[in-house]
Every structure is written in C-alpha cells, then in structure tokens.
A and B are shown apart, each in its own frame.
Chain A
Amino acid sequence: MAPIVTPLDWGVFLALFVFFTFLGFYGARWRRGDLSQLSEWALAGRRLGVALAWFLVGADVYTAYTFIAVPSGVFATGALYFYAVPYVATTFGVAAVTMPALWRWSRKRGYITAADFVQDRFNSKLLAAFVAITGIIAEFPYIALQIVGLQAVLTVMLLGIVKSIKLVSDLALTISFIVLAAFTYTSGLRGATLTAVLKDVIIFASIIAILVAAPLVIPGAFSTAFKEATLVASGGDPPLASGVSTLKAPFFAAYTTLWVGSTLALYLYPHSINGSLSAESDKRLTLSLGLLPIYGIGLALLALYGILIYGDAAAMKILSLFPASARGSLVIPTLAVTVLPPGLAGLALLGVFIGGLVPAAIMAMAQANLLVRNIIKPLRPSITPQGETRIAKWASVFFKFLALGFVFIVPATYAIWLQLLGGIIITQTLPAVFLGLVTDRFDKYSLMVGWAVGLGLGVYLFIAAHESPLYPILGHPIYIAVIALAINLLIVLVGTGIAMAVRRTAQAKVSVK
C-alpha cells in the first residue's frame, strides 16, 4: 500500500500545527490579564465579544462529535444520525434562554462554574458537589471522543508510511497532548480562543472545498452516492439500517428523543457553560448563541459526507482495508484525502485534528474549575485565589492525560458509546441548573434524590439495553436520557410538594401552640 497522504499535505499539516502551537502560547500575551486569577485564566477575563464568543463556543461545541462521530453514524446507521441537525438547531435556543441568565448571576457574584450557582441558589454545598462530580465524569468520555478523532486523522496520514500505525500514532498523540497541556497551562482560555478561530476557519474552508471538489471527482456526486448507499443497504446484513434517503418508521421515536435529549444535555456540559461565561456582555453572548445554528450547516454537510463517501470508489477502497467497525471514524479524513487536491487535504486533516484538540483543552479546563471550586474549596476553605488557580492549572493537565491514558486502554468504539452515556448522566443535573435559573423553590433534598435516581436509572437502562443509548418503551426505542430525566423531574416535583406540605403543617402546629 502506497502512502495516501502526499509529502505536500504533510508539510502543510506540520507547518500549520506549528502555527497552532504558536497561537496557543501567544494567547497568554493577548489582552493581557493577571493569569493567577481563575476568572482570567479560565474565562479569558470575561471579555469576549460577539465574534470571538461565536468562534470559541463554536469551536467548543462543534467537536470530534461533529467531524467524526456524526459522519461515522450516518455512514454506518443511515438517516437516524441526522438527528444531530435538529439537535443543534434547538440547542442554541435553549442556550440563548439559559446562558445569559447564568452569565448575569456569574458576573454579579463571581461564579466560575454552574455548581457555584447551584451552591448559592439552593444553599447546599453537597448538591453543588453532586453537580460538579457529574460534570467531571460526563466530560471524560467526551474528551476520549476527541482523542478518537485525532487517532482517525493520524491513521489515515500514516497509512502506507509506517508499519505499526498504532505505535506511531500513540506517540504523535502524546506529543500533541504535551504541547496542548503546556499552552493551556500558560495561556488558559485565551490560548483556546485564539486556536479556536484558526480551527473554525480551517474547518469551514475544508467543508466548502469538499463540497466544491466532490462533483469533479465523483460523477453525479450526491445522486450517485445515495444510489450506491441504497444498494449497499439492500444487500443483506445491511449497515444503514435506519434508512438512506429517508428515515424508516421504527426509528421515529428514537430520532426525536435523541435530538430532544441531546438538546437538553449540551448546555449542562461544563465546557459549554465555561465558554458561555467568558463573553463580555449578556447581549453579545446571546447574539452569538443565536447565530450558532449557522455553524450547524457545516455539521449537516459533514453528516451528508457520511453518505457521499459511498459514491467515491477510491475512498471506499481505502476504507475496505480496515475492519467494518473502524471504518466510520475514518470517513472524513479519507474523503479529504481522496477528494481534495494535494495541499488542501493537509489543511483539512489539520482542521479535524485541532478540531479535537481545542475542545479537549476547554473540557479539561472546565473539569479543573469544578474540581477546585466545588470539591476542593468546600473541603479547604482557606485556599487563596492564587492557590485555586495553581491547582486548576495542574488539574487540567492531569485530566487531559487521564483521558489520553483511558483511550490507549479502551477501544475506540467504547469511547463513542461512553459519550452517549455521558449525555445520559449530565442531563440529570438539569433540574438543579436550568430550573434553578427560573425558581429557587425546589427542595434541595428532592433535587438530590431526583439526581441520584435519574443517574441510577439511566446507567441501569443503558446496561439493560446492552450498552445502547436507546431503550425500548412499548416497542419504540427512546433515548434513555429523556426517560431518566422524566423520572428525575417527577421526583423533584413530588418531593418539593411533600416538603412544602410538611413545612406548612409544622408552621401550623407552631402557630396553634
């Protein structure tokens, strides 16, 4: 097998990676602030305008999930995975309603995390710690997913060049992570923001380049691709089981609950909240959130490339070198190499690569904030602001390498299903965080019980459904996050009702005496 990535592409990739590293370190000097303060390091001093907030949040929530997992899902399963499109349309509506409110609270009271808010709102350090732990755990598989994306890029780049792709790719990943950890330690969110702009620009250029170049390389482009994919799906033991041109009826409930559940989950993830709190005003934040569905058009095209690749004989030939389970995550890197002219392919590969690195950095920082603010600080209240920041910096390094080690041990396919479990887990913090923005009348113990039952039930159903995010109810597969959240909310409402009644009776007794 001859190498499929040209020396020119390698050159472009490496040169841009050097520039990416430079931007990451340069971030520390950009809009200089006192980086020993947590809000300066972790929230870039809360000074991002509409455009920068758009780039940062865009880079933050459009991740390897967008570039690797969604195209991979469409490639293997078919129309079902297009649920990501309604998901991103509605998720920014949820964000535009919730995040400015959280932003105003945070600005007023110096909150860094959602758990900071929960702690004050419900006057409970324990509930805040639960929210923090949920965030830290749910973030791990999400980081792991980013690393799976990085591996996919390296696999395609190293094909035909080295014999043991796994070894060289692991080594390259480790070096990339050392670079990443070093500049996020020094520059914090400033470094992530500058690299985010680079990432977004490259990604958009690549997506458009593939769209323009595809008809030149694939006669008939999408028409051919949909015909070929339908042919594959009808050929027995089909991949694309959920349908090619349209969604098959048994998947309707799954489609709808997957996008609704994912919509509710995304802005509970610590990295999304972290990105939102770094905006300089609530209006600018909301405006940038309102504009983010446009970024989703890139996601929709990438999802469609999961079908497009069926029309590309050269790409399908490369994929056939790999076991069926590994092919999906290689769709976009392979398509970039077979469709784009040399040079541009290197650009696209770098885009996907840093498209995983930038979010991984922000996710690890968000985890670090939660650890310091909501777990270490309540245990050691005497900690200084400088001490907080120092621990957060090291914790972000630690979390990155923990996730990396996890991916080296656990196979890639597991990392992707764990990400779906992450969604089920994080959704259980919705009553405390989102509903807490609307009312403080919920009983904190009911919130804790609801959280615990929702979490337990979610994990149980996930295992009962054989590690699938979908559990059948009356024969219709439903996204487990939605089921568990419904039970969670029911407990919170009933529990709060009981708590109120008990309090009223107690007060009545006192007044009688």
Chain B
Amino acid sequence: MTVETVKGVATWRKVVAAVLFIIPWIVYLLLPTYNTVSPELGGVPFFYWYQTLWLFITAILYVIAVLLLYPSRG
C-alpha cells in the first residue's frame, strides 16, 4: 500500500500550508506573551480576548491552507 496524498499539488503549496497549520501552535505555546491583564477589552483581560481573537485568525489561516492544498477539485 502506498500513502495517499493530495496528488498533483506543487511542493510550495504544501510547504506554505504546513507553515499556516503550525502558526497557531507557536502563538498559543508562547503563553507568557499573552498572560497579561491589559489591554482589556470591554472589561475582559488580554489573556482571554487575545486567545479568542486567535480562533478567528486561525480559521482564516486554515482556510487559506485548505485552498492551497485543493486548488481546483470539488
């Protein structure tokens, strides 16, 4: 049996997609960088709203990665 991969996709697309998938890991692993109270947003400490904001950014990164990996097929 051979490994099933996305066929006919350029290497640069795979590399960029891999980077996009890894970015959220790096962001969230750097816990001390976001473990602060200020700046607050509507009374919510930075620790909470920053991580929530990254959910949104993560979805954008993932969708770009998916579109890179599946250029045309339905």
Contact = CB atoms under 8 A, between A and B. Distances in A.
A85 interface: yes
Nearest to A79: B47
Contacts of B10: none
Contacts, number: 124
Contacts of A245: 37, 45, 47
A510 B71 CA distance: 49
Interface stretch (A164-172, A194-202, A221-229, A444-452): A221-229
B55 A291 contact: no
Nearest to B20: A93
Given A82-B48, A89-B28, A440-B1, A96 B66 contact: yes
A16 interface: no
A75 to B, nearest CB: 14
B44 interface: yes
A246 B74 contact: no
Given A85-B51, A286-B69, A297-B56, A226 B24 contact: no
A286 B70 contact: yes
**Residue among B5, B31, B56, B70 with the highest chain A CB neighbour number at 10 A:** B31
Interface residues of B, number: 38
Nearest to B40: A223
Nearest to B42: A222
Contact of B55 (A101, A246, A293): A293
Given A90-B25, A226-B45, A290-B59, A438 B31 contact: no
Interface string A189-233: 000000000000000000000000000000011111110000000
Interface string B35-74: 1110010111101100110111011001101110110011
Interface of A: prevailing SS: helix
A246 B59 contact: no
B35 A246 contact: yes
Interface string A92-106: 110011001100110
Interface residues of A, number: 53
A455 interface: no
A252 to B, nearest CB: 6
Contacts of B59: 290-294
Given A281-B73, A282-B70, A92 B47 contact: no
A439 B3 contact: yes
Given A220-B43, A286-B66, A290-B62, A252 B31 contact: yes
B28 A283 contact: no
A351 B44 CA distance: 25
Given A246-B47, A287-B63, A221 B42 contact: yes
A246 B44 CA distance: 10
A100 to B, nearest CB: 8
Interface string B1-42: 101111000000000000001001100110110011100101
Interface in A106-126: 108, 120-121
Contacts of A90: 24-25, 28, 58
Closest 5 CB pairs of A and B: A223-B43, A290-B62, A222-B43, A86-B28, A300-B52
23 contacts: A82-B48, A90-B25, A90-B58, A93-B25, A96-B62, A104-B4, A105-B4, A222-B42, A222-B43, A224-B43, A226-B43, A246-B35, A246-B45, A247-B35, A255-B31, A259-B28, A287-B63, A289-B66, A290-B62, A290-B65, A293-B56, A294-B59, A300-B52
Interface of B: 1, 3-6, 21, 24-25, 28-29, 31-32, 35-37, 40, 42-45, 47-48, 51-52, 54-56, 58-59, 62-63, 65-67, 69-70, 73-74
